[in-house]
Amino acid sequence: MTKHDDLVICRCEEVTYGQLLSTANEHKCTARELKLRTRAGMGFCGGRTCRMAVDNIIESVIPNITQADIPLKYQPPIRPVTFGSVGEIK
């Protein structure tokens, strides 16, 4: 266990670096499979905050992989809303 294992990578789904790394090492999975196994990148932000970290973990576990081989994409919100409508009291 390293000092970084408790570092939260995906804030939306509360997935830690240790969980991502151990899952990637255990299953030698692709970025898509890692996302499905841990739910990293499947929260409200759609992976905008954690995608780079997930990609870097896959690159460290699977040698000779390129960014083109990592087919994750950012997911925009279904429908954009303004902050005013979110905080509106009815």
Burial class (CB in 10 A: 0-12, 13-18, 19+), 35: buried
Report the pLDDT averaged over residues 11-15.
Answer: 92
Per-residue pLDDT reduced to its tens digit, 30-88: 788 888 899 998 888 888 888 888 888 888 888 776 655 555 555 666 667 777 777 77
CB of 37 within 8 A of CB of 23? yes
**pLDDT of 8 higher than 80:** yes
pTM exceeding the 0.85 threshold for the entire prediction: no
pLDDT at position 47, please?
Answer: 84
pLDDT band of residue 90 (cuts 50, 70, 90) is low
